[in-house]
Every structure is written in C-alpha cells, then in structure tokens.
Structure 1
Amino acid sequence: MTSTLRSHTGFRLLWAGDTVAQFGTAVGHVVLPLLAVGVLQATPGQMGVLTAAETVAFLLIGLPAGAWVDRMRRRPLMIRMDLVRAVLLLTIPVAAWFDVLTFPHLVVVALLAGACTVFFDVAYQSYLPALVGRDHLMEGNAKLQASQSVAIFSGPAIGGGLTSLIGAATTLATTGLGYLASALCLSRITTSEPLPERLPNRSLRAEIAEGLRFVLTDRRLRAIAGCTASWNLFFGVEGAVRVLFLARVLGLGEAVIGVLLGLAGVGGIVAAVLSARIVRLLGQTRAIWLVPLIGSLFGPLIPLSHADWRVGLLVVGNIAVTFSAVVYNVAQVSYRQSICPDHLLGRMNASIRFLVWGTLPLGALAGGVLGGVIGIRETLWVVAAGWMLSCLWMVFSPLRKERDIGRGGGEMVQA
C-alpha cells in the first residue's frame, strides 16, 4: 500500500490539533507538580493525591462514558471537552496571579479535567477508524504517537526552563492554550459523521455490560488489559514520587528536572518512527508482548541513578522504558481497533480504559504512601519490579503464540 495519510485533510487537522494539545499537556504534567512542590510545599502524600486526581475519573466514570460516546457524534464531543479543559486549567494561573491558589484548587481542577479527558480519549480512539479507515490505523496511530513522543521529549524541558524564567503559574497557561488550539483544529474537519443509531429498549447498564463482556471474554484483550493495568499501577506509583526523587533525593534544579524528564521522550520519538518496521519484523502480536518484556529489564536503572555521572542511568532507563511503551501502544491499539466492530468501539475502548487507567490513581495513592513510609528511592525499586511482573500477563497469553492479527475472532481493538 503506497498511499499515506499525508494527503488526508481530516487526519492532518486531527494530527495538528492533537500535537498542539500534547505539547500543552506535556508542559502541564511537569509544571503542575513543580507548582505544588515549589509554591505550595506539597508533601509526598499530597503529591499522591494530586497525581491520583488526574486519572481517578477513568475509574469512576470510565464505563458509562463508553456507552454515552457510542450514542453521540464523537468530533463535537471532543471539541466540547477541549474547551472545558482549557477553561479549567486557565483558572490555575489566574488564581496564582491573585495569590489565592490553594492545593484543593489544584485537586479539583485535576479531577474535572480528568473527567473531560475520559470522554475525549474514548471518543478520539473510536473516531480514528471512521476518519481514516481500518487499513490506515497503524500509520495513523504511529504518526500520533510520534507527535506525543516529541511533546514528551521537548515539553518537560520547555516547561522546566520556562518555570525557572517566568514561574510555574504563567507557564501552566500554555496547557490551556493548547486545548483551545486543539478545539480549533478539530472544528475545521469537514468529514461527515452520522449520528450513531440508537437501538430501542437498550438500557445504559445493558450497553455497558456488552462492552465489558466483549473485553473480558476475549483472552487476547483480557491479557492486554491485565498487562497494561498492572504496568499503569506501577507507573502511577512512579509518577507520585518522580519529581520528589529528582528534586529532593538527587537535589536537581527545575530546569535540569525538565530536561531529564524530557529526555525520556527520545525513546518515544525513535519508537514512533520505527514502530511500523518493528511490527512488520516481529509481527503485530509478537511486538505486543516481546517489546515491553525487554523494556522492563531497564527499569532498575532508574533507582540506581545518583546526582553524578550515574544520572545517565536514569536517562537510559527512562528512554528504554518509554521506547518499549510506545511500540507496545502503537501495536496493541491498532490491534484492538482492527478486531472491534464499529458499534462497540466506544464501549470497548471505555472498558479497557476503565480497567487500565483505573489503576493509575490507585498506584499514585500507593506511591504517596510508600514514598513516605519506605523512602522515595525504595519506592522506585518497587516500581521496577512491578513493571517486570506486569509482562507475565503477555508471556502466558495466546498472543505469545500468534504472529499476525487473526480476524477469525469476529470483526469485532488502545489502552
């Protein structure tokens, strides 16, 4: 197949909007904890609460969100969610400028913005197959992952540098502006999207159960969900202590922290560029289980790092883990989108999001507790071991014996 999505106007607008939003989000992810630690003097427990607040909505409303998304047009929903997130996040710098910012304010904004992200992400993953067609899913997901990786690489570095120059509150305003730009790009997509047909006499509960049952009864999807949920549990633990480890254990400044966090994105950029080749070389299902297994072996390098030449271990560990995560996501998201029927896309995506993102806030809360009880470096050792154990879901799954997508399981796929 020689045609690409470069000439697809609708996808280019979606890609552009997502890229701008990803940059705003990447900047916000490093600036928000810096604001909490540097301005509000947040404790490890508070950092755990703040990190959990960003993703707890996936646990609370993830399942009904999928059924609701399947009942409505997805592009207008994404635009509305972008606008609401922009307004929410812009309240933080305004409050900081008037010296009325509090920690509960950060938590409330994180909770509400997280709820919007639930609807946006479920709609976005369900919209891509209709926009580009199933034959272009791998290419579309790879390009979107490339933008995300570039944002991960440069966003934190930009955020850390700007924070040291103009302050965290002013820098955080870029996140809200990124969502506004994303809404503008999405509003210019002209591809028609019919209103989904609503089946009569179907309750919300029955629709939710249908999507959840589809995921849990398929051994391949169940393994993907189990692996990703376990990995995300320990990623949540790591996220709660990441900035504390760099700032208080290693004693690094804000600009250096931004650069080090951003360097993790190097692995993501390389992975996004090479993901299609890697998948062709290994086979899609083999890439899903083998790549994260290899990547998890580099996790112990992170807690082994110190504020000298050994800080390079942190960089190598982060790059390797990010590389494997991006290849895994491109492969498994495209896989799930390929085997799921259109009328179940929203509920399938929401069910998997519920299962795999619901563990993030639990991990963040656990990370806050562990960081205060056993120590921050020790908590990172727990994370490294957890990532390795997460891959056992894949090692003992039917995916390990498959090479390419089997379409025999019904034309019925991203975490």
Structure 2
Amino acid sequence: MHSYSHGAEGPLLRDPDLRRYVAARLISLAGTSVTFVVMPVLVYSLTSSATWTAMVAVAEGVAYLLTGLWAGLAADRFERKRVMIGTDVGAALVLFTIPIAAWFDQLTAFHVLIVAFTAQMIFVFFDAANLGALPTLVPRRRLPSANSVIAGGGTVVEATVPALTGALLVVMSPASLLVIDAVTFLASALLVRAIIRPLNQARTGPLRGKAAIAEGVSFIVKHPVLRYMTVIGFLVAFSGGSLVGILVVWADRNLGIQEGDWRLGFVFAAWGVGAVIGSFLMSRLVYRFGGVRTALMCLPATGVGGVITATSTYWIAGMVALAAWGAAYMVVAANSVTLRQQVTPEPLMSRVMTVGRMTSFGAGFPAGALVVGLLADTMDTGSALLICQVSIAAATAIAWLSPLRTAPRHLPMPEDATT
C-alpha cells in the first residue's frame, strides 16, 4: 500500500500525489485568471457594450448548465485521471484559436463568446473529475483543511495574476495573453498524469445514462441540508455573476478605470485578495461552528459587501469593498463544496458535485450576469449591480427560516467515507 494512505496524519502537502493535484489546479487557475481579465476586456474593446461584455459570463455559465449532469456521470463512470488529462489538452487547443485569429486580424466578439462557451464546456468535465477526485486523496474529516489549502493557494493566484495581467495589457494585446492560459492547461495535464494513486474507487456495476444521473439529483433533493444549500448556492451565484458580468463596465463607468489603465488589474485582484482572507477563515470557522452555521453567519456579510461595492465611486473604496465581498463570498462558496464532499458517497461524488455546480455556476451565475448586463445598458451601472443583490437577501432569508437553523454542527458521513 502507498505510504501516504488515507489514515496518514501530518501536513496534507507531504503527500506527493496531493501536491501534484494541487499544483495542477493552481497552474491551471493561473492561466484561467489571465482569461478572466482578458475575455471581457476583449469583448468590451470590440463592442463597448455592457450586454455583450456580460455575455462572456453567460456563455461560460450556460456551458455548465447544458453539460454538467453528463460530465458528472462521465467522471463517475470513467477514470477521472484520463478525463482530466483529455480535457486539459482540449481546452488548450480551443484557446489557441483566439490569438491565431487576432494575429490574422480576423477576431470578432462572437468568436470570443464561442471560445468562452466551448472552453468552459470542456472545463465542466475536468471540474467534475477534479472535485470527485479530492476525497479519494484526503480523509473526509480533513476536507475543510484540504479545500482551504486549495482555495487559499488559488486565491493567492487570483490576487496576483490579474494585477500582473492588467500591467501586461499596457504593453501586450489581450488576445496574445491567452497563449499563457493555453500553456498552463498543458502543464496541468502533465501534473495530473504524474499522480500515482487511482482517483476512483472500484465500481461494482455499470452506470446507465439517465437513471444514473437521476440518482445524483435525487440524493441532493432528499438530503435535509444539501437541498437547501443548493437553492442558496443558486442565489449566491446570481450575486457573483452580476459582479463578474459587468466588472469591466463597472470599473469604467463607476471608477473611471479603462483598458490600459494600470489600476484595472487591481480591480480584478481585489476580489482575489478578499478570497485569500475568506479561504483562510473558512476552515477555522467550519471547525469551530460547523459548515451549516458558518453559512448562516456569512450570508449576511456577503450581502453587505455587495451593496457597498455597488455604491462605490472612488477606486480605493471600491477595491476595499470588493475585497470584503470576495472574502464573505469565498467562505460561503468553499464551505458549500466541502459540505457536499463530506456527506456524499464516493460512487455518487462527481454527479452530486456537478449538480451543485450546475445550479450555481450553470444557472445562477449566468442569470446574474445576463440580468445585470441588460440593466446596465438602461440605467446606472451601480444601480444595476445593487438591484441584483436582492438575491443575497433572499438566500439569507431562506437559510435563517429553514431547518438549517437547527442542523447539527457535524453532519453524518456516508459508510464508505474514510475518517
């Protein structure tokens, strides 16, 4: 047996397979952080439209909505390592089309949206396999710490790479920067390939199409905590989508920060700085109060951060508000992922995880981006963003009026969970 078994104690990253897993995710995230800045900047520079710019986030979210259930099934049916390697390579090839088109002066906003949709659709399959793989490498009771390490490292990347990207946009074209993202996907594939331990448990029988998908959906619907957390996840993601959908437009119209301004990178980095703080706090809050109570406490803080951000007109105040919003949002989002991983049986893991991601990033996120984009073309951008924070008020009300208020501090784990 491998020396780094589920029962091993000590620092999590002493496990070489977990180090490879985390490194692959962080390297890929570094490239994705470049895309997070470049894609909306590209579309806004081509169209000057808030609606078109918001459609980047819509296209990425719709991809999750359309393919999430099938991606979860594929990740539970096939070897997760092969799924992750194949999708990494596929995403790299798709992203390369944008710089190539730009170099030949053939790039259009529609092309950017098609690539955003296709790359995200490929990523959905990677994400399903990746989220399902983590509990095979880490004991369930240590998942809050593992997710905190991953989220913390990820948000350090998200806090620094966008600022660097903003600086590079002063001297490089946005399309050329996407080469970086494509290369990081290839690096991620090599790291995943180097993981030694299997990322699936042995299967006792075949998983058959719609019945297998329905099994994952049914688990969430019947679970006394996950069904409420899934609805809350949709509403919280709606709020996040409303920000991401017009972040470039908000920076331009509210703060006076445009493409080529060195401060643009810091607009994107501010959210990441807050998320670093949130990821640091998440595991500590969960261990002290439990996952459900942590959600109850942090939902109101998310709403406050959104309201202050929407009403900010001075760039430094806007950055501080954005960081506070990012911290509360990260606690809620990462905690929701951890709860699903802790209570789901391993054979259902990828299907349950993708249902949760579908309702948040596949439905709530693009809905928020679309609504705020349409509103921002007819009214003040800050007012449009402020209206969309009603979703957080609804999420908070549902949480505090539901049975979540009396949920136990530690939720029961499945029989196949290694503690």
Q: TM-score range by the shorter chain?
A: over 0.9
Residue identity in the other structure for 1:284: G
* Secondary structure of 1:84 counterpart: helix
Partner of 1:146: 152
Partner of 2:90: 84
Partner of 2:163: 157
1:276-295 mapped onto 2 (5 Å cutoff): 276-295=283-302
Structure 1 residue 334 and structure 2 residue 338: aligned? yes
Kept in 1, the 8 Å contact 2:270–2:320? The answer is no
Cα distance 1:91–1:386, how it changes in 2: closer, same or farther (>3 A)?
same
* Secondary structure of 1:399 counterpart: helix
* Secondary structure of 1:111 counterpart: helix
Q: Which residue among 54, 62, 66 is the counterpart of 2:68?
A: 62
Measured after TM superposition, the shift of residue 74 of structure 1 is: 0.7
Measured after TM superposition, the shift of residue 246 of structure 1 is: 0.8
Partner of 2:187: 181
1:96-245 mapped onto 2 (5 Å cutoff): 96-193=102-199, 196-197=202-203, 199=205, 203-245=208-250
Cα distance 1:305–1:31, how it changes in 2: closer, same or farther (>3 A)?
same
Q: Which residue among 340, 347, 350 is the counterpart of 2:354?
A: 350
Q: Which digits, 9 at most, give the CA deviation of each residue in 1:339-381, with x for residues without a partner?
A: 1111111111122122222222222222221111233221111
Moved over 3 A (4+): 193-196, 410-413
**Alignment identity in percent?**
29
Measured after TM superposition, the shift of residue 249 of structure 1 is: 3.8
Partner of 1:36: 43
Measured after TM superposition, the shift of residue 240 of structure 1 is: 2.0
Q: Which residue among 298, 301, 304 is the counterpart of 1:297?
A: 304
Residue identity in the other structure for 1:135: R
Partner of 1:396: 401
Measured after TM superposition, the shift of residue 411 of structure 1 is: 4.4
Kept in 2, the 8 Å contact 1:31–1:171? The answer is yes
Residue identity in the other structure for 1:146: G
Q: Distance in 2 between matches of 1:66 and 1:267?
A: 30
Q: What do you get for the CA RMSD once the two structures are aligned?
A: 2.0
Residue identity in the other structure for 2:218: R
Name whichever of 270-279 and 127-136 sits farther off. Answer: 270-279
Q: Distance in 2 between matches of 1:172 and 1:97?
A: 12
Q: Distance in 1 between matches of 2:271 and 2:243?
A: 14
Kept in 1, the 8 Å contact 2:24–2:189? The answer is yes
* Secondary structure of 2:394 counterpart: helix
Measured after TM superposition, the shift of residue 10 of structure 1 is: 0.4
Q: Which digits, 9 at most, give the CA deviation of each residue in 1:372-402, with x for residues without a partner?
A: 1233221111123322322223212323223
Q: Which digits, 9 at most, give the CA deviation of each residue in 1:289-328, with x for residues without a partner?
A: 211222322221112211xxx3333222211221112222
* Secondary structure of 1:302 counterpart: helix
TM-score by length of 2: 0.92
Measured after TM superposition, the shift of residue 109 of structure 1 is: 0.7
Cα distance 1:216–1:130, how it changes in 2: closer, same or farther (>3 A)?
same
Kept in 2, the 8 Å contact 1:51–1:364? The answer is yes
Kept in 1, the 8 Å contact 2:44–2:50? The answer is no
Name whichever of 104-113 and 361-370 sits farther off. Answer: 361-370
Name whichever of 191-200 and 317-326 sits farther off. Answer: 191-200
Q: Distance in 1 between matches of 2:163 and 2:200?
A: 41
Q: Distance in 2 between matches of 1:379 and 1:412?
A: 47
Q: Distance in 1 between matches of 2:58 and 2:416?
A: 32
Structure 1 residue 381 and structure 2 residue 377: aligned? no
Q: Distance in 2 between matches of 1:107 and 1:366?
A: 17
* Secondary structure of 1:252 counterpart: coil
Q: Which residue among 234, 251, 256 is the counterpart of 2:256?
A: 251
Measured after TM superposition, the shift of residue 333 of structure 1 is: 1.8
Kept in 2, the 8 Å contact 1:134–1:338? The answer is yes
Measured after TM superposition, the shift of residue 49 of structure 1 is: 2.2
Q: Distance in 1 between matches of 2:92 and 2:99?
A: 12
* Secondary structure of 1:373 counterpart: coil
Kept in 2, the 8 Å contact 1:88–1:113? The answer is yes
Q: Which digits, 9 at most, give the CA deviation of each residue in 1:13-51, with x for residues without a partner?
A: 11111111111111110111111122x134122123222
* Secondary structure of 1:405 counterpart: coil
Residue identity in the other structure for 1:214: F
Residue identity in the other structure for 1:216: V
Q: Distance in 2 between matches of 1:292 and 1:177?
A: 37
Residue identity in the other structure for 1:283: G
Q: Which digits, 9 at most, give the CA deviation of each residue in 1:200-257, with x for residues without a partner?
A: 5x63111111110111122310111111101112322222221111123432133211
Residue identity in the other structure for 1:23: A
